[in-house]
Amino acid sequence: MSPSADSLDFRLDSPDVKNDPYPLLHRLREEDPVHYVEHMDCWLITRYKDIYELYTDPRLTADRRKGYNYQQPPEGSFFRWVDDHGLMALDKKTHSLQRRLIGSGLTPSGVRNIEGKVRDVVDHFAKPLHGRTGVVDIMKEYTTPIPIVVVGHITGVTAPGVDDTQFSELAQAVIRGFFGLVSQEVLLRSEKNYEQLSKWVKDTIAARREKPENDLISYLIDANEGGFSLDDEGIVAQVSSMLAAGTETTSSGGVTCLSTLLDHPDQLERVRADRSLIPQTVNEVLRYAFGGVGGTQRFPLEDFEYKGRKFKKGQLVMLSGGGASHDPEVYENPEAFDIDRNPQGILTFGLGPHYCLGANLARCELANIVDAAMDFLPPGAKVLHDQIEVEELGMFDRQTNCPVDFGGGA
């Protein structure tokens, strides 16, 4: 059901809401900013300042095992490991030690050191697109493989120059299971692929024990932070979680950057002519096009009242990404895409203790994806929106292609 004029009765999975969440988000922000969504038994928070506040509220946790509707994955499964030992499940101290351990190469200076590697991967996938005509799927050929190969190289599971195709396919199949609220069938398929991925990573660990390289796996084998270290199972799961967290997000970020620019050709041409505009353009895409109606999930550790509404212990609280990034109190005329805006304080990478560990790497990848694309996207290229396909993964849809007419075709 879509929102009617006089009631705020809607379903988050209705096509109207998925296709254009912003009219609903504006109504919610004005009329009921802390809204109870009955069909999901959850709270939807839509004002920037409330989302900002709740991200750092110690009465809420990111640990989904604390949700009263939590369904425990089967014993021994990868998803059970992630729920019990992943970054969202750790106590404060272990969490910060583990972040330091796995995030050591993702600091601003760490990312500057690997920018050359990132650029090589981007150029590898950009090269075959130069001079192309007709319809090109820029998602399949360009933005999807890049983040998978980058994370593969950083972690060490694939090496530059080695064919990454098989690894990319495997990683993508595992990643499906990480989508919020996916069906059991998707989870099972993902779990099966994880078994293969896990063997791959274990073989890499064995090889690195023999001969260390300059990659995360070699580092993690001996690394110790304040007495905390990872065993082989931990390395496998952590590397796989990194793949999950750092690939789908950046792949859809890349395609979103390009399709948003293609839909705003005047601004695309300004970026093409002046590449120093790229960082602020990426920043604006992260604000303008990255937030759906839903968002980050949190769970109250106790019953408490927030803005006059009663949160129950374990009840899902969703911090709406689109709610925050299109809040007119913070971003004037939020529905306009404007590369001169250079928005500050965007919450697209979260906030607080779980702030995205890969944000620096993601920005670096997106900037290079846009830069290289400016050299192969012909003037006048158009996204064929009516040919875009989506895969339904439970609550949320996932775009699976991005056909672009490069012109000059038969």
Among 89, 330, 339, 362, binds ligand HEM (CB under 6 A): 362
Span interacting with ligand HEM, options 5-13, 179-187, 228-236, 357-365, rule CB under 6 A = 357-365
Closer CB to ligand HEM, 10 or 182, in the complex? 182
Q: Which of residues 79-98 bind ligand HEM (CB under 6 A)?
A: 87-88
Structure tokens at 45: 């928070």
Q: Do 256 and 290 contact (CB within 8 A), yes or no?
A: yes
Binding mask 11-30 for ligand HEM (x = CB under 6 A): --------------------
Q: Which of residues 48-67 bind ligand HEM (CB under 6 A)?
A: 62
| Side-chain-facing half-sphere of 262: CA atoms under 13 Å | 24
Rounded to a whole number of angstroms, the minimum distance from the CB of residue 368 to ligand HEM is 13
Closer CB to ligand HEM, 11 or 354, in the complex? 354
Binding mask 321-350 for ligand HEM (x = CB under 6 A): ---------------------------xxx
Which amino acid is present at 330?
A: V
Place of tokens 């009921």: 32
C-alpha span between 215 and 16 (Å, rounded): 45
Cα–Cα distances in Å, from 246 out to 164, 172, 252, 372?
Answer: 16, 11, 11, 20
Among 61, 198, 296, 325, binds ligand HEM (CB under 6 A): 296
* Nearest residue to ligand HEM, scored by beta-carbon proximity: 358
Structure tokens at 256: 């979103």
Structure tokens at 194: 């994880």
User: Considering the rule CB under 6 A, would residue 320 count as an interface residue with ligand HEM?
Assistant: no
**Secondary structure (DSSP) of 346-388:** --TT--GGG--TTHHHHHHHHHHHHHHHTTTSPTT-EE-GGG-
Binding mask 174-213 for ligand HEM (x = CB under 6 A): ----------------------------------------
C-alpha span between 376 and 130 (Å, rounded): 5
Residues at the contact surface with ligand HEM, assessed by CB under 6 A: 62, 87-88, 99, 151, 242, 245-246, 249-250, 253, 296, 348-350, 354, 356-358, 361-362
